[in-house]
Structure 1
Amino acid sequence: MAHEDDPSLEDASSFAGVADGFERLWTPHRMAYVQADRATREGADGCPFCAAPGKDDAEGLVVHRGRTCYAVLNLFPYNPGHLLICPYRHVALYLDLTAEETAEFTALTRDALRALGAASAPGGFNIGMNQGDVAGAGVSAHLHQHVVPRWGGDMNFLPVVAQTKALPALLEDTRRQLVAAWPDGT
Structure 2
Amino acid sequence: MEKLFSPWRSQYIETYNRMEGCFLCEAGKNSEEDEDRLVLYRGEKAFIIMNLYPYNAGHLMVAPYKHIGDFLQLDDKTLCEISKLTKLSIKVLKKVLNPDGFNLGYNLGRVAGAGLETHLHNHIVPRWNGDTNFMPVIGEVKVISQDLKDIYHKLKKALEEENVE
Q: What TM-score does the superposition give when structure 2 sets the normalisation length?
A: 0.89
Residue type matched to 1:47 in 2? C
Q: Write out per-residue CA displacement over residues 108-150 of structure 1, whole angstroms, 9 at most, x where no aligned residue.
A: 0000000000111110000011001111101111000100001
Secondary structure, in 3 states, of the residue corresponding to 1:34?
Answer: helix
Structure 1 contact 25–162 (Cα < 8 Å) conserved: no
Counterpart AA for 2:4:
L
Structure 1: segments with no counterpart, 5+ residues: 1-18
Matched, 1:87 2:103: no
Structure 2 residue 164 is the aligned partner of structure 1 residue 185: yes
Provide, for residues 54-91 of structure 1, a one-character-per-residue CA deviation record: whole Å limited to 9, x for no partner: 34211010111100000000011011100000000000
| TM superposition score normalised by structure 1 | 0.80
The answer for the alignment partner of 1:48 in structure 2 is 23
Matches within 5 A, 1:57-68: 57-68=34-45
Q: Could you tell me whether the CA contact under 8 Å between 2:12 and 2:53 is conserved in 1?
A: no
Q: Where do 1:1-186 residues align within 5 Å?
A: 19=1, 23-34=2-13, 36-37=16-17, 41=19, 46-55=21-30, 56-182=33-159, 183-186=162-165
How much does 1:32 deviate? 3.9
Structure 2 gaps of 5+ residues are none
> Once superposed, what is the RMSD of the aligned Cα atoms?
1.6
Is the partner of 1:72 in helix, strand or coil? Answer: strand
Percent identity, aligned pairs only, is: 39
Name the structure where helix makes up a greater proportion of residues: 2
